[in-house]
Amino acid sequence: MIKIGITGQAGFVGTHLFETLKLKNDVQTIPFEDSFWNSNETLDAFVSSCNVIVHLAAMNRHESMEVLYNTNVQLVNDLVGSLERCDSKARVLFSSSIQETRGNLYGDSKKEGRRLFNEWANRTEGSFGGLLIPNVFGPFGRPNYNSVVATFCHKMTHHETPTIIQDGELNLIYVGELVDEIYQLACAETVVDCKEIAATSTMKVSEILSFLEVCRAEYLEKGIIPSLISNVEVQLFNTFRCAMDIKGHYPVMLTKHTDPRGSFVETIRLGVGGQVSFSTTVPGITRGNHFHTRKIERFCVIKGKALIQLRRIGTDEVLDFYLDGENPSYVDMPIWYTHNIKNIGEEELYTMFWINEFYNENDPDTYFEEV
């Protein structure tokens, strides 16, 4: 069992890494809190508990670049001091950046941090690997801080207009792909001093904005699942969905057409394929209590009364949505939200489900956790 701790656990990448590692059978996660930096005793207790330490803690932006530089270097020095006090043999993986070569103080702080860790490893025969990471994007990033994707998604889902300052070409990696890379390096028998993490896609800023404008026009405004022809488009779409005001947007009411023959309701318009299913649920029964990390899923209630509940993994707030088949409506499940559906009526509940992938029992992307 590998015991992995993550400095900066509460940050963008740290949150994804921590929650993903919790799903691994061969990993024990060692919790970290930012307050540990304030006490040698608590920091040493954390360090002593780890086989692997992923050092993500850093300041990405500050009005004073000097403060940013000094903060990032001091965090490395604090961790090195704890490693030496504890005579730790933990493997250290350091999140550096392709900014190292850009001649700015943020990149310089990362380069200096990698040098300090290398010195520690050489002095103590420790195990250290520096990771040069491209632009990372994904759900729950902070706008105006983590990435241009996070900024665009927030603005476009909150009635703001994004602007392009410089239409450069970005080498991108989705946060889930980066997490998989870190996990593999944490489990590897050896680690290299400096590893450049390869980008998984390249897009111009204007291309990102153009795709997200399609997401807003088709999905946010019309409820249409847009055409998603590549992995990066699925990843951008899921990032966009998680930036939405979920509580304010759902449930979405559908148009019900009625004549003497009965009624007709269109439940979904798709620019992609996937799998459609139908279920009945007897009164009082709850289905679900699981989450997905990549799948796009829709629950559409067409008969009966239902309570759909969502909770983002790692948080406590439960979102309740009440749906009634008299006025058919749907809720789409954001990734990393555990969800369920319960029949709260007195008759059978009829629900249609759509998901963008065929079910694969060898890779179900379904993780059970009570809402």
Q: What is the domain-level CATH number for residue 123? A: 3.40.50.720
Residue 267 lies in a domain: yes
Q: What is the model's pTM?
A: 0.94
Domain boundary among 133, 152, 183: 133
Alpha-helix runs per DSSP H in 49-93: 65-85
Nearest of 370, 298, 356 to residue 328 by alpha carbon: 298
Strands 169-174 and 305-312: what pairing? Answer: unpaired
The number of beta carbons lying within 10 Å of the beta carbon of residue 326 is: 11
Amino acid identity of residue 144, one-letter, is N
Which residue range(s) make up the domain with 20?
A: 2-133
Contact between 61 and 145 under an 8 Å Cβ cutoff? The reply is yes
DSSP state of 172: E
Domain boundary among 109, 133, 157: 133
3-state secondary structure of 186: helix
Q: How many structural domains comprise the chain?
A: 2
3-state secondary structure of 134: coil
Domain boundary among 133, 161, 186: 133
Q: What pLDDT, on a 0 to 100 scale, did the predictor assign at position 5?
A: 98
Across the chain, which has 371 residues, the per-10-residue mean pLDDT values are 97 98 97 97 98 96 92 98 96 93 90 96 93 96 95 97 94 98 92 90 98 97 96 98 97 94 93 94 97 98 98 98 97 98 98 95 96 98
Q: What pLDDT, on a 0 to 100 scale, did the predictor assign at position 339?
A: 98
3-state secondary structure of 340: strand
Residue 299 lies in a domain: yes
- Please tell me the distance from the alpha carbon of residue 13 to that of residue 57, in angstroms, as a whole number: 10
φ/ψ of residue 330, rounded to 5: -140, 160
Residue 262 lies in a domain: yes
User: What pairs with residue 333 in β-bridges?
Assistant: 297
- Please tell me the distance from the alpha carbon of residue 228 to that of residue 120, in angstroms, as a whole number: 46
Q: What is the domain-level CATH number for residue 360? A: 2.60.120.10
Residue 203 lies in a domain: no
Alpha-helix runs per DSSP H in 50-126: 65-85, 105-124
Q: What pLDDT, on a 0 to 100 scale, did the predictor assign at position 152?
A: 98
- Please tell me the distance from the alpha carbon of residue 327 to that of residue 179, in angstroms, as a whole number: 42
Residue 13 lies in a domain: yes
Residue 52 lies in a domain: yes
